[in-house]
Amino acid sequence: MFVCVCNAINDRAVSEVLARSPQIGTPAALHRACGSKPQCGRCLPSMAEMIEDARAEASLGCALRAAD
Ligand code: FES
């Protein structure tokens, strides 16, 4: 599924970038990491949501490792 139609960036590419660079905190930073720039901006809410989801998963992973 395309996350950013203007730059032809799909959800798999976004997930890979977020896995490699968990410090990314904004859609603009995510675009930079993907080697792109926002154009129409319609993808920014979806990218923000993917960033939040990645952070939640990382937090859960940390909590589970700490509980071991
Ligand atoms: S859909 Fe990403 S900039 Fe247009």
pLDDT at 56: 93
Q: What values do phi and psi take at 4, rounded to 5? A: -120, 105
Quote the mean pLDDT of the chain.
94
Number of neighbouring beta carbons within 10 Å of residue 50: 20
Residue 6 CA: nearest ligand 1 atom is 4
pLDDT at 62 over 80: no
Percent of the chain beyond pLDDT 70? 100
Domains of the chain: 2-67 (1.10.10)
Phi and psi based region of residue 41 (left: phi greater than 0; alpha: psi -120 to 50; beta: remaining): left
- The pTM assigned to this predicted structure is 0.87
Q: In the predicted model, what is the mean pLDDT of residues 18-45?
A: 97
Read off the pLDDT band of 46 (50, 70, 90).
Answer: very high
Ligand 1 center–CA 28 separation, angstroms: 11
